[in-house]
Amino acid sequence: MSDSTYVAGSCNIGQKEIRRRQLVAVVGLFLSLLSLATLISTSAPRGARIGIFLPLMVAAVGYVQSRSKFCLAYGFAGTFNFGKLGDLSRVSDPQDKAADRTTALKILGKSFLLASIATLVVLVLPL
């Protein structure tokens, strides 16, 4: 599979968009570590630790999308991009749109699972 070819349900972003998703993953990881440091330094109650789920979800979504070469938002919207950032093309085939939506749901599910597992780890840590 080429890095510059749309493949329904498999690949809907090119290298520039993949880099953007990698940046999102790094920002999400940074925010997660910052949140964890804040929780530790303030001796936050165990219940407050659940708040780390959001930055972990950002990191997980960015990571899974970049590894999959697939944008879940584009998958839901029926679009793809292999050119300049923001230069979207429309998916015209209804079967391709359905395949893209299925893949987008899978990415969302994987991201949710990763963020949930990481949140559970933070919840059980003896901080």
pLDDT category of residue 4 using cuts at 50, 70 and 90: confident
pLDDT category of residue 62 using cuts at 50, 70 and 90: very high
Q: Which of 111, 99, 55 is nearest to 74 (CA)?
A: 99
What is the spatial distance between Cα 32 and Cα 55, in angstroms, rounded to a whole number? 5
Q: Are 99 and 44 in contact (CB under 8 A)?
A: no
pLDDT category of residue 61 using cuts at 50, 70 and 90: very high
Q: How far apart are the first and last CA of the chain?
A: 46
pLDDT category of residue 125 using cuts at 50, 70 and 90: confident
Is the pTM here over 0.85, yes or no? yes
Domain ranges of the chain: 15-124
Q: What would you measure as the largest C-alpha separation in the chain, in angstroms?
A: 54
The arithmetic mean of pLDDT across residues 72-88, rounded, is 94
Name residues whose C-beta falls within 8 Å of residue 58's C-beta, 6 or more positions apart in sequence.
24, 27, 28, 31, 32
